[in-house]
Amino acid sequence: MSTDSISRARLADLTARELATFADRHAGSRAAYANADHLFGRVPMTWMNKAAGNFPIYLDKARGSRITDVDGNEFVDFALGDTGAMAGHSPEPVVAAVTARLRNGLATMMPTEDAAVAGAELARRFGLPAWSFALTATDANRWAIRLLRAVTGRSKILVNSYCYHGSVDESLIVVGPDGRGASREGNVGAPVDVTMTSRVAEFNDLAGLERELAYGDVAAVLMEPALTNIGIVLPEDGYLAGVRELTRRYGTYLINDETHTFSAGPGGATAYWGLEPDVVTIGKAIGGGVPVGAYGLSAELAGTLSGRDDLDLVDMGGVGGTLAGNPLSMAATRATLSEVLTEAAFAGMIETATAFADGLVKIIEGYGLPWSVSRLGARVEYRFASPAPRNGTESARGADAALEDFLHVYLANRGVLLTPFHNMALMCPQTTPADVARHHEIFDAALKELV
């Protein structure tokens, strides 16, 4: 049995049936979508059109691991705002901290003491002493990139092929068919040819990384310690140590983007694998659902940057945002880190995710499908390829949009949400073994009909 042997005609028939059910079950969402004439693409942000059911499900309310939509359908939510709600939807300590802040000033151009507590907790977890805040992980990456260009005087940033670090210009590069860097397909309005700003290597390819670093013009490697945006691609033994050794040898700084790999544990993949990056960037989950981003710098970098009088870090030099570090984000981040995404919470989430992954493997093997399951702490993803892909390009080849959409709609019609853009399931502190069992029962039923 291979994925190729799944009948495409049967897949199309089943998908048509499921789409009709979806339209019936979501009349309110359908109407809301039809009434949004003055939104570009009918949605608040164009990516919300990534909806397997042909239109988005509209939110009524969400709490813990559950979402209720405007039609009254209840879902077990494994998308969790793709990581923005890894702490669960509207966690009580965050609601309390944010509510207390709401009546007392939201945008004042003054720091609050919450930021120092959040910074200290991030320092403890990720091992980097000096933190600064943004509103998105994208901005954290952008500002980190600027700082490292300034410190090194080098122009290029190196990323892994098929990475995602937000809408960062430098990151929209892939390894092309000829083995050289090329613009990522669909790249919107690139300011310059991306090969002028960036270099690229495949994940798990130290020889390819060294070849690019040897040009001597790379200010920083920006990477996820495991790729999480093209399925989950885990590092092979020795790879991350090799990256650190090579970046040191070639005078290149190393940024770990922990926005998603934070799922590995309380100190993300950095603590889990004992990594020593110069900079960590993060966002999403640390705000418990409230917008925030952050970057942490090594003592060496913080010292060097503080001594650079030629850099305008205070006003218009290109690093900063008016609402960055605002009181609401800081209250939410402090509460999330101190009271919600604790060591104990991670232990439970990872136990639940392990059960999710083990059950998934059993079902997939039961149907003899050549698919693979990867887990990083509280995050689990399956790919239509086996063995598990070793890099982004291999993983991209394993994509199957029709199959993915079918599974997403089938699950949604029976009250389970997976992450759009992925076959990803994330666990929050409130995700239960019963939630996992519910997913598996429906997933099994979908495969029984399909295979």
Angle between helices 401-413 and 433-450 (to 10 degrees): 120
CB 86 to ligand PMP: min, Å? 12
Q: Which one, 29 or 136, has the nearer CB to ligand PMP?
A: 136
Using the minimum distance from each CB to ligand PMP, give the nearer residue, 164 or 272.
164
Give the H or E element holding residue 269.
Answer: helix 268-272
Least distance (Å) between residue 150 CB and ligand PMP: 21
Paired tokens of 413: 């019609």
CB of 92 to ligand PMP, least distance (A): 23
Rounded to an integer, what distance in angstroms lies between the CA atom of residue 60 and that of residue 237?
45
Cis before 387 (ω within 30):
yes
CA angle 331, 344, 136 (to 5 degrees): 35
- Least gap, CB of 137 to ligand PMP (angstroms): 3
Query: From the CB of 427, what's the least distance to ligand PMP, in Å?
Result: 17
Of 426 and 442, the one with the shorter C-beta distance to ligand PMP is: 426
The least distance separating ligand PMP from the CB of residue 324, rounded to whole angstroms, comes to 13
Distance CA(109)–CA(314), nearest Å, equals: 13
Phi, psi of 69 (to 5 degrees): -95, 180
Q: Which is nearer to ligand PMP, 91 or 283 (CB)?
A: 283
Nearer to ligand PMP, 290 or 369 (CB): 290
3-state secondary structure of 377: coil
Task: Give least dist CB 378 to ligand PMP, A.
Answer: 15
Q: Cβ closer to ligand PMP: 143 or 443?
A: 143
Q: In what order do the strands lie in the sheet with 253-257?
A: 130-134, 293-297, 279-283, 253-257, 218-223, 156-160, 198-201
Nearer to ligand PMP, 166 or 359 (CB): 166
Which run of H or of E encompasses 133?
A: strand 130-134
Quick one: 6 or 324, whose CB is closer to ligand PMP? 324
Q: Which residues bind ligand PMP (CB under 6 A)?
A: 136-138, 164-166, 224, 229, 257, 259-260, 283-284
Burial of 327 (0-12, 13-18, 19+ CB in 10 A): buried
Cα torsion angle, 57, 60, 64, 66, sign: negative
CB atoms within 10 A of CB 2: 11
Residue nearest to ligand PMP (CB): 166
Least distance CB 75 / ligand PMP (angstroms): 21
Residue 128 Cβ, how far from ligand PMP at the closest point, in Å? 17
Q: What is the DSSP letter of 152?
A: H
Identify which of 124, 131, 159, 125 has the alpha carbon closest to the alpha carbon of residue 145: 159
Instruction: State the maximum Cα–Cα separation within the chain, in Å, rounded to a whole number.
Output: 66
Nearest to ligand PMP of 132, 259 (CB atom): 259
Query: Minimum CB separation from ligand PMP for residue 257, in Å?
Result: 5
* CA 376/CA 354 separation, integer angstroms: 9
Q: Quick one: CA dihedral 414, 415, 416, 417, positive or negative?
A: positive
Contact 10, 450 (CB under 8 A): yes
**If we measure between CA atoms, which residue out of 185, 78, 68 comes closest to residue 408?**
78
Query: First vs last Cα of the chain: how many Å apart?
Result: 9
Q: How far is the CB of 293 from ligand PMP (least distance, A)?
A: 6
Backbone angles phi, psi at 317, to 5 degrees: -75, -5
The smaller minimum CB distance to ligand PMP, of residues 140 and 345, is found at 140
Q: By C-beta, is 150 or 226 nearer to ligand PMP?
A: 226
